[in-house]
Amino acid sequence: MRTKILKKPTIKRLPTYLHILRQLSNEGEEYVSTTKLINELEFEPVLVRKDLATMDLPGKPRLGYKLQDLINAIEEYLGWNETSDAFLVGCGSLGVALMGYDPFKDYGLNIVAGFDNDSSKTGKSIHGKQVYNIAELPQMIKEQNIEVAVLTIPWQYAQDVANDLIKAGIKAIWNFTTVKLKVPEGVVTHNENLASGLALFSVKKKLRDNSDIED
Amino acid sequence: MRTKILKKPTIKRLPTYLHILRQLSNEGEEYVSTTKLINELEFEPVLVRKDLATMDLPGKPRLGYKLQDLINAIEEYLGWNETSDAFLVGCGSLGVALMGYDPFKDYGLNIVAGFDNDSSKTGKSIHGKQVYNIAELPQMIKEQNIEVAVLTIPWQYAQDVANDLIKAGIKAIWNFTTVKLKVPEGVVTHNENLASGLALFSVKKKLRDNSDIED
């Protein structure tokens, strides 16, 4: 079955639903009503109803959705029912931070090792994960069948390193550099930029105005 | 003078320009042409021209913009000509990561201390920054005139803690929880959600399709 393509804001809300649903499940709940979720969240009720409806699950009157079914549906949609092993490239301050951010595992991403070209970092372990020399990347990608990379190197090297990663077999790059990477068909990239978020925060702060800045 | 309100995508690109401009300045350059910036970046040339034009600076034929003027204009627009001291609340894995992320200082944000209610964390220092008990927050906010908080606590406590922060004098909250905070007029919040970014990345990865997901 072809995966339904949901809209961006819906996809961005899915981890929040999942987080709460998992919590309710841990507390021993079996069903969850839309009303309960709405009460637990700050999202608009109409959005929650719409988002949940996209999962195409039957709801029981009064009881709501079967909790585990809803969790499974969201995990499956996001591909988080399986965890992807990933290599992180660039063990600077951001890279180190991400290597130590445990909750990624709940989000389908398992960073298994780091890579850097700085010999003061290689051979050591960060947050229990080994750091290898970047020269070892291509061989290790092939040997371990790694398809996902997290890119946290200085932007000047981003495209070159991405080319090497893709040549070695990487199919998906979570890109924390500011470079918009050029990649061949079949390879995906997603850009994350904390500085951009901080810029939006700063402008709101300066304007002392919380209204959404125009898109 | 009232600050011009730029569009969101322009604001999000400003840190990237700033980063490159600062680098060129460090290399001793005095002027920068739009063409040079375009070559250094992966943004659409037409966007770069438009973004720079919003800064209302005179350009010199052939030479381009005076580098320092452009840097000043962007820093001033973002309010990054002054660094804001901030308290980080919630020293879990994300909080610790952000406390150790040095480049924030280049982006106008200086996290000066952390707060937690876990006594195994308080009294210690993380990345050279002291961790205090959350009970000390109100007084320390007042004493140190802190107006900015980074919120990295579990979402269940987010609204309550935000209320306390605001009561003590916080004017701007960079919110890493999934809760959409209710705040009074004059207080700003900006939500950052790494899980949302990872969700978008995961869906692209699963679809093996790099085309933008519909907004």
Compute how many other C-beta atoms are within 10 angstroms of the C-beta atom of residue B95: 24
* Mean pLDDT estimate for chain A: 91
Whether residue A181 lies within 8 A of chain B, CB to CB, comes out as yes
Nearest CA in chain B to A173: B201
Closest residue in A to B206 (Cα) is A79
Nearest alpha carbon to residue A207 among B172, B53, B91:
B172
Beta bridge partners of A84: A109
Number of domains in chain A: 2
Query: pTM for this structure?
Result: 0.80
pLDDT at A1 over 60: no
Q: Do B202 and A8 touch (CB under 8 A)?
A: no
pLDDT for residue B120:
95
pLDDT, mean of residues B166-177: 96
Instruction: Select from B79, B181, B193 the Cβ nearest to the Cβ of A202.
Output: B79
Average pLDDT over residues A176-200: 89
Confidence at A76, pLDDT banded by 50, 70, 90: very high
B59 and B141 in a single domain? The answer is no
Same domain, B127 and B154: yes
CA distance B177 to B78: 23
Mean pLDDT on B36-59? 89
CATH assignment at residue A45: 1.10.10.10
**pLDDT at A2 > cutoff 60:** no
What pLDDT sits at residue A94? 84
pLDDT digit string (tens) for A112-135? Answer: 999 999 999 999 999 899 999 999
Which backbone phi and psi does B76 adopt, to 5 degrees? -65, -45
Contact B138/B160 with Cβ under 8 angstroms?
no
Give the rounded distance of the alpha carbon of B97 from its chain centre: 15
Between A106 and B118, the higher pLDDT residue: B118
Confidence at residue B155, expressed as pLDDT on a 0 to 100 scale: 81
Average pLDDT, stretch B128-133? 96
Band (B132; pLDDT cuts 50, 70, 90)? very high
- Cβ under 8 Å to B: A residues 98-157: 98, 100-104, 107-109, 148, 155
A36, A88: one domain: no
B39 is in which domain, residue-wise? 8-78
Give the separation between CA B200 and CA A7, rounded to whole angstroms. Answer: 10
- pLDDT at position A163 over 70: yes
CB-CB under 8 Å, B3 with A181: no
Tell me: do B74 and B88 sit in the same domain: no
> Do A183 and A99 sit in the same domain of this protein?
yes
Share of chain B above pLDDT 70, in %: 96
Chain A residues lying within 8 Å of B202, measured CB to CB: 78-80, 107-109
Q: What gap in Å lies between CA A31 and CA A28, rounded to an integer? A: 9
Whether B122 and B34 share a structural domain: no
Q: Is the pLDDT of residue A214 over 80?
A: no
Question: What would the two tokens of residue A101 be?
Answer: 């951010």
Considering the domain architecture, whether residues B160 and B116 belong to the same structural domain is answered as yes
Residue B158 lies in a domain: yes
In sequence order, the β-bridge partners of residue A210 are: none
Measured in angstroms, the CA of A212 and the nearest CA of chain B are apart by 9
User: In 3-state terms, what secondary structure has residue A169?
Assistant: coil
Task: Say yes or no for a CB contact (<8 Å) between B108 and A186.
Answer: no
The stretch A71-98 carries a mean pLDDT of 93
Does the pLDDT of residue B2 top 70, yes or no?
no
Highest mean pLDDT among A21-30, A56-65, B34-43, B89-98: A21-30
Answer yes or no: do B90 and B126 share one domain. yes
Handedness of CA B94, B97, B103, B106 (dihedral sign): positive
pLDDT class of B166 with cuts at 50, 70, 90: very high
Q: What's the confidence (pLDDT) of residue A100? A: 83
Within A81-157, where are the H helices?
A: 93-99, 137-144
Chain B CB within 8 Å of residue A203 CB = yes
In the predicted model, what is the mean pLDDT of residues A57-72? Answer: 92
